Amino acid sequence: MNPVRSESTRRRGPALDVAVVGGGMVGAAAALALARAGFATALLEAREPAPWRAGDEVDLRVVGLAPSSVALLDELGVWTSIREARAGAYAQMHVWDAATGAAIHFDAAREGRAELGFIVENSLVQWTLWRALDAAGVRRLCPAEVAAYEAREDRVQLDLADGESLSARLLVAADGAGSPLRRLAGIGTRGRDYAQLGVVAHVATERPHERTAWQRFLPGGPLALLPLADGRSSIVWSLPEDEARRVLALDDAAFRDELGVASDFRLGRIVASTPRAAFPLRLQLAGRYQAERLVLLGDAAHAVHPLAGQGVNLGLRDVAELRDVLLAAREAGGDIAAAHVLRRYARRRRSADTLDALGFDALARIYAWQAPPLVAARGLGVRLLDRLPPFKRLLAGHAAGR
């Protein structure tokens, strides 16, 4: 697959309906979904993704895909290759509190399902989507960055950093949490910096992961052990920044010992580990999801704490909603980027994302409580929730995107 770089393609391609900026998992899924829905679509990405190869070490960045995301990827015709390439199904989730031992357990069988979700590599999802773009008729421009844009009466004009220009009816910003397009559109954000880093690595454990996503809440932040297809677990260990830097600097043996203690040896000793990486964690919600002829989606619109493993799932729900709203506008014979159309997308997704993001934030705050009466109340509350099947079903259904 060669990136589309030719000047002629940039200047003389067919008139575009949609220009998607950012070809991460969310932007690539958006471009594919919109092209499949019959919209003339271009995808602009600053950096060519590295090819995913089965023989390579498992990418350190993995996500838990909820059933709603799997359904969308399946609809787009890419799920079977992702699943066959390397996807770790998890059928149970066990979340427990280091301070009180109170636990909540989810079991797919109780929901009548084979699994709760799949742990997959970001690079595999992105690469599989990219491979499907050409056949769907998406014009790929890579490397490409938007330097400026102007919304006009019937189109939006994009000036690219290399001096080229492009026009489309709608501009979709899927350019990540730092979204340059969001800034160009003058859209602010609110939220908070958790002053934490998420330390990630893959580890081999003494005991099997039992196709279970484990998460232990510790005073410094949650530690998740997510089951990989190859039998290892992928960890996301949220720690205060200084503590995270200390953990990153440990030698392998000391790291494995500390991780074993932090995981309460739930899977026994940690017997092997890959190199580690870390990502800053923050809550960030865009003040608006739409501007004239522009919408935000994915992390450009919302970045959330990874404790619920929902970031990309929210982004893929944005994709499905945007496609449906644009299809309805086209069927009604109107301008797909009319303000009322974009407002419909923005209203639906922003309220859903905000509720989720604030819910995850509330969880992070509750688990940060250290005062003994509050800790006791938390333990009681969690034990109570675990004994309330209807509430658990509701939570599981929500996480699944139903």
Ligand X SMILES: Cc1cc2nc3c(=O)[nH]c(=O)nc-3n(C[C@H](O)[C@H](O)[C@H](O)COP(=O)(O)OP(=O)(O)OC[C@H]3O[C@@H](n4cnc5c(N)ncnc54)[C@H](O)[C@@H]3O)c2cc1C
- Footprint on this chain of ligand X (rule: CB under 6 A): 21-27, 44-47, 63-64, 122, 145-146, 174-176, 180, 198, 200, 236, 279, 298-299, 306, 309-313, 315
User: Shortest Cβ distance from residue 398 to ligand X (Å)?
Assistant: 14
Q: Phi, psi at residue 320, to the nearest 5°?
A: -65, -40
Q: How far is the CB of 335 from ligand X (least distance, A)?
A: 25
Q: Is 63 or 156 the residue whose CB approaches ligand X more closely?
A: 63
Calpha distance 380→369 (Å, rounded): 14
- Least distance in angstroms from the C-beta of 202 to ligand X: 13
Q: Which is nearer to ligand X, 99 or 313 (CB)?
A: 313
Evaluate whether 38 touches 46 at the Cβ level (below 8 Å).
Answer: no
Is 150 or 206 the residue whose CB approaches ligand X more closely? Answer: 150
Closer of 99 and 176 to ligand X (Cβ):
176
Cα–Cα dist 92/104, whole Å: 11
Select 99 or 118, whichever has its Cβ closest to ligand X.
118
- State the helix-helix crossing angle for 67-75 and 25-36, rounded to 10 degrees: 50
Write down the least CB distance from residue 380 to ligand X, Å.
Answer: 28
Nearest by Cα to 288 from 398, 369, 183, 194: 183
* Least spacing, CB of residue 121 vs ligand X, in Å: 11
DSSP character string of 289-308: SEETTEEE-GGGTEE--GGG
Name the minimum Å distance from CB 306 to ligand X. 4
DSSP 266: B
Least separation in angstroms between CB 373 and ligand X? 32
User: Which of 334, 227, 353, 361 lies closest to 286, judged by CA?
Assistant: 353
Distances (CA, A) of 346 to 26, 69, 126, 274, 288: 16, 19, 24, 40, 7
Give the residue with the Cβ less far from ligand X, 26 or 104. Answer: 26
- Helix (H) or strand (E) segment spanning residue 132: helix 122-133
Got the DSSP string for 151-181?
E-SS-EEEEETTS-EEEEEEEEE---TT-HH
Nearer to ligand X, 24 or 227 (CB): 24
